[in-house]
C-alpha cells in the first residue's frame, strides 16, 4: 500500500470560507450585544487563526480582545450550521 498525503489549504484560496466565518462571528457578536459585521469587513480579518479573527471582530465593534476570549454558547451551534464550507 502506498502512502497518501493530503494537504488542506484553509486560507480561502481553494474555498471561500468568509460567508461561514462571518455567520459564526456574527452570532457570537450578537450574543455579546455587538452589531454584526459584513462579509467585506470579515474578509481582511481572516488569516491568522481563529483567536486573532475573533479578537479583530470584537475590536472592530468596540469590544476587547479579553471579551473575545470568553467562552460563548453560539460557537458550537455555528459550526454545526456551516453550509458552504
Domain residue limits, the chain: 23-80
Residue 70's pLDDT is what?
76
> What's the alpha-carbon Rg for the chain, to the nearest Å?
14
Q: Dihedral sign for Cα 45, 49, 53, 56, please.
A: negative
Residue 62 neighbours by CB under 8 Å, 6+ apart: 34
Q: How far, in Å, CA of 31 to CA of 40, rounded?
A: 21
Residues annotated as catalytic are: 9
Residue 12's pLDDT is what?
60
Q: How confident is the model at residue 4 (pLDDT cuts 50, 70, 90)?
A: confident
Whole-structure pTM value: 0.70
Residue 78 pLDDT > 50: no
Q: Is 20 in contact with 42 (CB distance < 8 Å)?
A: no
Residue 77 pLDDT > 60: no
Q: Tell me the pLDDT of the chain averaged across its residues.
A: 80
Amino acid at each position: 500500500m502506498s502512502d497518501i498525503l493530503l494537504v488542506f489549504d484553509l486560507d480561502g484560496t481553494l474555498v471561500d470560507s468568509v460567508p461561514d466565518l462571518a455567520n459564526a462571528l456574527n452570532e457570537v457578536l450578537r450574543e455579546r450585544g455587538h452589531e454584526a459585521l459584513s462579509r467585506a469587513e470579515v474578509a481582511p480579518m481572516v488569516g491568522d487563526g481563529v483567536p486573532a479573527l475573533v479578537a479583530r471582530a470584537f475590536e472592530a465593534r468596540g469590544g476587547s480582545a479579553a471579551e473575545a476570549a470568553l467562552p460563548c454558547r453560539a460557537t458550537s451551534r455555528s459550526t454545526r450550521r456551516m453550509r458552504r464550507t
